[in-house]
Amino acid sequence: MASFEVSMMRYVNKHNLLKVGDKVLVGCSGGIDSMALLYFLNSKKGELGISVVAVHVNHMLRGKESHEDRLFTEHQAAQWGIECYSREIPIPKIFAKQGGNKQQLCRTERYAYFLEVMKYTSATKFATAHHADDQLETILMSAVRGSLQDGSFGMLASRSFGTGYLIRPQLAVGKEQIVSYAKQQNIPYREDSSNAEAAYTRNRLRQRVLPFLKAESREVSKHFVELAEDMQQDQQLLQELAREKVQQMIEMKEEEIILSAKSFRVEPRALQKRMVLLLLNYLYNPKQVPLTRQLVEQVQEMMQSSSGTVFLHLPQSYIAIRQYDVVIFRCQSLTQTSTLAPITIATDWTSFYNGRRYKVVPTDQLVHVDKAVNWYFQAPENASFCMRSRKSGDRIQLAGMKQPKKLTRLMIDEKIPMPMRESWPVITTDKNELLLVPGLRPSALVSQQKRDRDNWVLVEQFL
């Protein structure tokens, strides 16, 4: 096994993590991992042509112990001639007020401070002390939770952060190498008592699973780092292709995302999953809403057809609606949406509404229109037509049924969410005969095949 310093320098050069003139801000908890990283970078600053600054956060979760960690980090940085910035963040008070996930809250507040210091010091790189064992744990946690990462597999060696980059040079080495290096160099450090708590998933994996894996191979963490690098390179290519495809097929309209199910499903399955992740990332912060495999597969599955209407309820009151080929992602209001003012449908196109527009022409004036469905029907020559919201008492004559069906009953059967029922459009004649409930059902009065008696055609065009 190569020495700590050799492995670190090789990894830094391989991934171009540092360049001459970089100012590196090092996140230091006072633990062995971050103190080893701070010592290493400071000892190599002349060789690398960099300058080093330290930053510490006291989350105030462990009382006196947390305060002593801060004092220790500040003192040791000063001993090594390193400028150190630190702050106390009252996580218990913030958590009591906001609730949520305490670990995520700590990370959010901590990284906000790191960005602040990075900007103040004009640092170009922010270095964390994540090592090869952490990479192994991260990959195992994703597998255990069934979560999908956006275009990555495990932690990246480098990524954008503020106006610079976040780097993880210590992915080059495992915990044993860090401990050995700290011992050789007499590097002082603090022990975090919370690292031994079995309440956290990561700690349980570290205490119970990693020893079994390392018993099979002492190099297992290194192998997972190498696997992650290979996977990340493949993922990066697929992610770039998926992003190009999504940008070409979606239309952003106010707070809606609209696309064609057909344009989605013609893409390879390997791209479809990543395209769904990108779509969901338009709606959510993936750090706050876990993008599980089940959620992604549900969205992917609803795109595999262009028949009928499908609703998919998403986290945080979002909803995905597929009406025939048109798929709409939007936030679902918990209150009733406003009713639709009547829109006259004549020989000129209406405006687009919910991804569709309409016109009605005599059958002998019909011309071919792309992305459209033709609904033939019979009505008086002087008839008029409109699109409006449903009214109390509306009924629709469905094919194969002797009696008209209440529209409210149809919407219940089709699982239309309550807030959407009042504003759901219907297309009627001037005699209030329902011709079409867009995205839901046609009435028996219309047909996609022209019949002898039909003299009108309703043209429904999709975005």
Phi, psi for residue 428 in degrees, rounded to 5: -130, 165
Which sequence spans correspond to the domains of the chain? 4-231, 257-331, 343-462
Mean pLDDT lowest for which of 5-14, 330-339, 397-406, 431-440?
330-339
Distance CA(69)–CA(88), nearest Å, equals 11
Which tops the pLDDT comparison, 420 or 62?
62
Query: pLDDT tens digit string along 268-305?
Result: 998 998 899 888 888 876 556 667 778 888 899 999 98
Q: Mean pLDDT across the stretch 94-116?
A: 91
Does the annotation flag 51 for ligand binding? no
pLDDT at residue 336 tops 70: no
Query: pLDDT tens digit string along 340-381?
Result: 789 999 999 998 887 789 999 999 999 999 889 999 999 999
Contact by Cβ (8 Å): 56, 28 = yes
- What pLDDT does 197 receive? 61
Does the annotation flag 142 for ligand binding? no
- What pLDDT does 199 receive? 56
- What pLDDT does 248 receive? 93
- What pLDDT does 436 receive? 94
- What pLDDT does 338 receive? 62
First-last CA distance in the chain: 60
Q: What percent of the chain has pLDDT over 90?
A: 59
Q: Pairing between strand 164-167 and 251-253? A: unpaired
Does the annotation flag 29 for ligand binding? yes
Does the annotation flag 147 for ligand binding? no
Does the annotation flag 32 for ligand binding? yes
- What pLDDT does 264 receive? 94
User: Looking at the domain that runs over 257-331, which CATH code has it been given?
Assistant: 3.30.465.60
Does the annotation flag 34 for ligand binding? yes
Contact by Cβ (8 Å): 344, 384 = yes
Contact by Cβ (8 Å): 369, 436 = no
- What pLDDT does 289 receive? 67
Distance CA(108)–CA(111), nearest Å, equals 5
- What pLDDT does 324 receive? 82
- What pLDDT does 371 receive? 86
4-231 is classed CATH 3.20.20.70: no
